Amino acid sequence: MLIGIDASRANRSLRTGTEWYSFYIISHLAAIDRENEYVLYLDKEPVADLAAAVSLYSNVRFKILKWPWRYFWTIGRLSLEMIKNRPDVLFVPAHSLPLIHPRRTVNTVHDIAFIRENRVYQKRDISTKSGRLSIIDLLVRIFTRGKYQSNSLDHLSWSTAYSVRNASRIIAVSEFTKNEILDVYGEHVASKTQVVYNGYPEDLYYERRDPRERNTVLEKYGIEEPFFLYVGRLEKKKNTAALVESFSLYKEAYPESEVRLVLIGNAGYGYDEVKYIIEEYNLSRWVLIPGWVNEDDLPVIFSAALAFVFPTLHEGFGIPALQAMAAGTPALLSDLPVLHEVAGEAALYFDPRDRASLASALAYIASNENLRATLTEQGLDRCRLFSWEKSARETLSVLTS
């Protein structure tokens, strides 16, 4: 069987959640499957680590599909490829389906937060050139019969609905996400929707207790212990500004505390509010934003943290919680059903919409060494339920069924 995979999102030098998902699923599929042939569709030359991940496997090859425009590679160029050279199965792990696709097509839906929490999403136009934008907007309006416009939020809404409707199989990354898909798009898609949990790279995320390694990495990013750690995009959806405000309440209640707050991640919609709160509450000394951190360094920073704090408003799975537990870091998580599904009893939960609740949770975990030790032990046990190899095997079962 020839399995085609949209690998364009895996082919990024700086990856975030769904892009890492795509990278690890592809690399593990290549490692475990010798029976099927794979063609990985790219919009540019493969980056070094993606090329290395599949280089040993003769049944995996890249195919670069050139496209002259910045947008619509999937809708346009990948659709053309499906006309000329259609695989037996097409798998789209981190994006929407092309307009033209094989009858047997599998798509992963990571979340539908853009529907549940659309107020925290920015409606970005898909082009910055006014002339081109007006033409694209006109085409989008015509194609969708006036229902959608050419902005990022409308594209998410249209593309996800299109994918759910047209995919022959849907992979949901949690039971929570599956239930949301059925609630929004209808119970009739239940028979083609299967849950396959995410994993984490076990060779990278484990307890890092070597003091020399820790000192080297922390010094590299200017991080001083002790510190609370947040990892994720700095944006409204992740509730980052509320975390900073709650941290200010914690510092006000415990002025003698030397605990800092480290925010790791790229700036997103709402980052200006994060910066404003830091300045307004005079937290520049206490809140560190190191910017992009190398993936190899992240587990060391996780292991060094007093606790990992995740105040997100909506998740499809919550990979950072899994990374924290694997690194032996106590997890302090939003009280969301999906995070209970992932972390179980191995975390301390708080109300993400109540700043006082989060501030109290910060104080409680900072002052309770026995609780931190218990959560660390429980987290290490819990994370063993997940792995990218397990995810890949279950995904392969969906692709070949």
Q: What is the pLDDT of residue 13?
A: 86
Q: CA of 346: how far to CAs of 268, 365, 380, in Å?
A: 29, 13, 9
Q: What is the pLDDT of residue 114?
A: 79
The mean pLDDT value for 200-219 works out to: 94
Neighbours of 256 (CB within 10 A): 5
pLDDT band at 335 (very low <50, low <70, confident <90, very high): very high
The mean pLDDT value for 230-259 works out to: 95
Burial (CB count within 10 angstroms: exposed 0-12, middle 13-18, buried 19+), residue 324: buried
Domain ranges of the chain: 2-198+388-400, 211-385
DSSP type of residue 272: H
Q: CA of 110: how far to CAs of 173, 197, 229, 259, 288, in Å?
A: 6, 10, 24, 34, 29
Q: CA of 89: how far to CAs of 6, 94, 133, 169, in Å?
A: 11, 16, 34, 11
Question: In this predicted structure, which of 54-68, 107-121, 204-218, 271-285 has the lowest mean pLDDT?
Answer: 107-121
Q: pLDDT digit string (tens) for 127-152?
A: 544 444 455 554 555 555 556 555 56
Structure token pair of residue 96: 């929407």
The mean pLDDT value for 216-230 works out to: 97
Is pLDDT above 70 for 311? yes
Neighbours of 119 (CB within 10 A): 8
Q: Considering the entire predicted model, what is its pTM?
A: 0.89
H or E segment to which residue 18 belongs: helix 17-32
- Domain 2-198+388-400: assigned CATH number: 3.40.50.2000
Question: In this predicted structure, which of 48-57, 90-99, 120-129 has the lowest mean pLDDT?
Answer: 120-129
Residue 243 near residue 334 (C-beta atoms within 8 A): no
Is pLDDT above 80 for 70? no
pLDDT band at 172 (very low <50, low <70, confident <90, very high): very high
CA angle 305, 309, 315 (to 5 degrees): 135
Domain range 211-385, its CATH number among 2.60.40.420, 3.40.50.720, 3.40.50.2000, 3.10.129.10: 3.40.50.2000
Pairing of strands 193-195, 60-64: unpaired
Q: pLDDT digit string (tens) for 312-326?
A: 999 999 999 999 999
Q: What is the pLDDT of residue 229?
A: 98
Burial (CB count within 10 angstroms: exposed 0-12, middle 13-18, buried 19+), residue 142: exposed
Q: 3-class DSSP state for residue 220? A: helix
Stronger pLDDT, 95 or 2, i.e. the higher one: 2
Torsion of CA 154, 19, 10, 14, to 10 degrees: 110
Q: 2-198+388-400 and 211-385: same fold?
A: yes
H or E segment to which residue 263 belongs: strand 260-264
Rounded mean pLDDT of the chain?
91
Q: pLDDT digit string (tens) for 351-389?
A: 999 999 999 999 999 999 999 999 999 999 999 999 999
